[in-house]
Structure 1
Amino acid sequence: MKKVVIIGCGAVGYRWYFDGIKKSKYCEVAALVDIDEEALEKAGKYLHNDNLYSSLEEFLSSKCKADIALILTQHSSHFRLIEQCLNNGLHVYSEKPFAETKREAQYLLKVAHDKGKFLASAPQIKLSSRNQKVKEIIESGVLGKIALIRASGSNMGPADRKDTDYNPKWFYNDGGSLASLGIYTLSIIIFLFGIPDRVASYSGIAFSNRTVKYGPNSGEKFKVTAPDNQIAILDYENGMYVMFDGSYVVKHPVDYELIIHGELGTLLVGGFGGPDSIILENEHGKQKVGPDDSCHLEWNLFWGVDNLAKCIQQ
């Protein structure tokens, strides 16, 4: 079992990571780090761990040891924390994005390489059986030459979600829709088709005034200062284009996250698992070809950390 120090004990941890590490076959909690004493103690009780530290520096100077640092703090702190962890001999898994600029990303990759450490980042989108099945179908050639992909990763954001149990305003100010939401669909595109040759993109604020609909801040009005409407056309130069959106401006999201048009048929991809999560439409009619398992239904961002620990071991 690889020991994990979790840096950041807020809503993201409870929503996506803490329950995952409880069930992990490859990881266990070594310590928790958070500058908020109340959040730190709450997470310690939830994860049954008494190794609590108010800063990364305090943890690094302690006798408590870990193999992997799991970083769940706000975007702007990722670069500094990742650099510090790598330089102190830790493998790192970071919430997305692990850097805010290309230059920062390249630098961190070099540090990881020079230190002989793994650096991995959410989203772990390629690990879901649904998306692996889509890739398998494309590579089988059943669609023929791919020409056009419509990829939509948009909704209204956490201020409009019924299951929001935290203050969502950060996502519309420091976060932005692409880095917080659209990155999932964009990562699927890169996984399936690779890096595009050219990108034409647009980014702006469509709805500058919002109201929190649910959760502890329900009814609170706030200003939007980060882009909430972000779209792009990805050009793969062989006549194949992707029309992508990753925005907080869609009240009723489309049924299919991906619509992949090929010379011989169309693939409709949506939902969270099961045979009907992928529909193949061609001259033979419509067929449900999604994976017959519950992998995508059991969506868990901790899969990425588990996968990293497994890679280290193997």
Structure 2
Amino acid sequence: MTEKKLDIGVLGVGEIALGPHGVLPNLHHIAHKVNLVALADPVEDRLAAAAKTYAVPHTFASLDELLQLDELDAVVNLTPIPAHGDTSRRILEAGKHLALEKPVATTLDDANAIVDLAEEQGLTVVVSPPNMLYPSRSEARKLIRDGVIGRIAFARARPSGAGPAAGAPWRDPSWFYREGSGPTFDVGVYGIHELLGLLGPVRRVTAFSGITDPVRTVRRGPFKGLEVEVTADDNTLMLLDFGDSVFATVDSTFNVYAAKGPRIEVYGREGALNVNYNINQSGPAPQLEVYRTDITGSEFDGWIAPDLGHLAGAETWALALKRALLVDHLADCVLGGTPSALGADLARHALEIMLGAYESARTGTAVTIESTFTDVEPPTPALGSQW
């Protein structure tokens, strides 16, 4: 008997779909789970080239046309940030499962509608970023929740970079600096999602936010020298209150050209934990480092690197899939009944924090976060036979 696969369509064949770390070049790793049956994009030449490269049988110029395809089970939504809310609502209204790039939307109305539609129709939604599927993040979560570093006091997340105008030679970066985009939606969302996965829901947010330079100049690539008007805040610092005197800071800025500190730091009453880099990066330090205060009989004594040998296969799998890891998780949820660790309610909570940060910066007050989310243990990846 032929094993059921998920028939998917991809909406948007830009860099997130086509780049080396993108979805389409890495779907072959999960060919035993998904069939890529359709692509949709309004740019005809780009659409035709992608369909030829990946042998996709159906192409469409619009989402409405794509959704008419009867065999379609799910849509991978890779549209630009401002389009996420409307397109995702339409995908769910059509009865299709959804994998969506971050953030879930740019308004709470759209995010609420996405959560409600998925629940009403019994559809699965998984929303990027997929970082809590990375083995290092799952292990960090386990160490924290097993009490290895004691009661948590505070944490820091450092997701920022120099911004697309500084180091993205493959596209016109202008839209990243316009209203409706900016570093909070582009990169800050990673740090927020990671902290939510490690520490749980946030109760309040306080922030400072503004525009560093009104004009940015593209440094390299085909748009080198282009002057980009900055109308979205490009420099935001957030303080998150998780309740019970547990706090965290997140930087969300296009002003970090280099940094040597850990990507995530978590401090507890009996030690500390560092997550040193992302899954697609490498460095001299181990992915995880733990400091434990000197307690008789403890396996920890000062800084150590926990043995992650048992996660080697999962690490290789995540490194191979890159952005297709999101699609892999969707397939596992729909076909295998795995609970979504990247659900729409989690993404809505993250969006409310981001919007609350902007409100706090405008008003000078702490903003209460009303939503919450179901805290799902990240799954152990169902590895392909080649791993």
Same-fold call, TM cutoff 0.5: yes
Paired position in structure 1 for 2:42: 35
Contact 1:277 1:290 in 2 (8 A): no
1:187 aligned residue (190, 193, 214): 193
TM-aligned CA deviation for residue 220 of structure 1: 1.7
Paired position in structure 2 for 1:291: 308
Whole-Å separation in 2 of the counterparts to 1:167 and 1:279: 38
**What do residues 240-262 of structure 1 show as CA deviations (whole Å, max 9, x unaligned)?**
21011121111213431111111
Whole-Å separation in 2 of the counterparts to 1:298 and 1:241: 34
TM-score of the superposition, structure 2-length normalised? 0.76
Whole-Å separation in 2 of the counterparts to 1:46 and 1:244: 40
Contact 2:27 2:321 in 1 (8 A): no
**What do residues 84-123 of structure 1 show as CA deviations (whole Å, max 9, x unaligned)?**
2112121111111122122221112111111221122111
Paired position in structure 1 for 2:14: 10
Count of matched residue positions in the alignment of Structure 1 and Structure 2: 312
2:326 aligned residue (295, 304, 307): 304
Contact 2:177 2:228 in 1 (8 A): no
TM-aligned CA deviation for residue 72 of structure 1: 0.5
Greater mean deviation of Cα atoms: 5-14 or 249-258: 249-258
Paired position in structure 2 for 1:85: 91
Paired position in structure 1 for 2:291: 281
Whole-Å separation in 2 of the counterparts to 1:166 and 1:23: 27
Structure 1 unaligned regions, length at least 5: none
Whole-Å separation in 2 of the counterparts to 1:285 and 1:61: 60
- AA aligned to 2:271 is G
Whether 1:250 aligns to 2:267 is no
Greater mean deviation of Cα atoms: 285-294 or 8-17: 285-294
Paired position in structure 2 for 1:165: 170
Aligned Cα RMSD in Å?
Answer: 1.8
Q: 1:124 to 1:290 in 2, by over 3 A?
A: farther
Paired position in structure 2 for 1:61: 68
Q: Secondary structure at the match of 2:255?
A: coil
Contact 1:235 1:242 in 2 (8 A): yes
Q: 1:88 to 1:308 in 2, by over 3 A?
A: same
Whole-Å separation in 2 of the counterparts to 1:100 and 1:124: 19
Q: Secondary structure at the match of 1:242?
A: strand
- AA aligned to 2:35 is E
Whole-Å separation in 2 of the counterparts to 1:60 and 1:287: 51
Q: 1:290 to 1:128 in 2, by over 3 A?
A: farther
Paired position in structure 1 for 2:205: 199
Paired position in structure 2 for 1:51: 58
Contact 1:233 1:242 in 2 (8 A): yes
Listed as ranges, the matches of 1:77-226 within 5 Å are 77-161=83-167, 164-173=169-178, 174-226=180-232
Q: Percent identity?
A: 26
Whole-Å separation in 1 of the counterparts to 2:10 and 2:78: 7
TM-aligned CA deviation for residue 291 of structure 1: 2.8
- AA aligned to 2:38 is A
Q: Secondary structure at the match of 1:246?
A: strand
Whole-Å separation in 2 of the counterparts to 1:104 and 1:191: 23
Listed as ranges, the matches of 1:257-272 within 5 Å are 257-272=263-278
1:70 aligned residue (69, 76, 90): 76
Contact 1:146 1:262 in 2 (8 A): yes
TM-aligned CA deviation for residue 209 of structure 1: 1.8
Contact 1:86 1:117 in 2 (8 A): yes
TM-score of the superposition, structure 1-length normalised? 0.93
TM-aligned CA deviation for residue 127 of structure 1: 0.5
TM-aligned CA deviation for residue 194 of structure 1: 0.9
Contact 2:8 2:38 in 1 (8 A): yes
Q: Secondary structure at the match of 1:45?
A: helix
Q: 1:237 to 1:57 in 2, by over 3 A?
A: closer
Contact 2:38 2:56 in 1 (8 A): yes
Whole-Å separation in 1 of the counterparts to 2:227 and 2:140: 41
Greater mean deviation of Cα atoms: 164-173 or 238-247: 164-173
Whole-Å separation in 2 of the counterparts to 1:279 and 1:75: 34
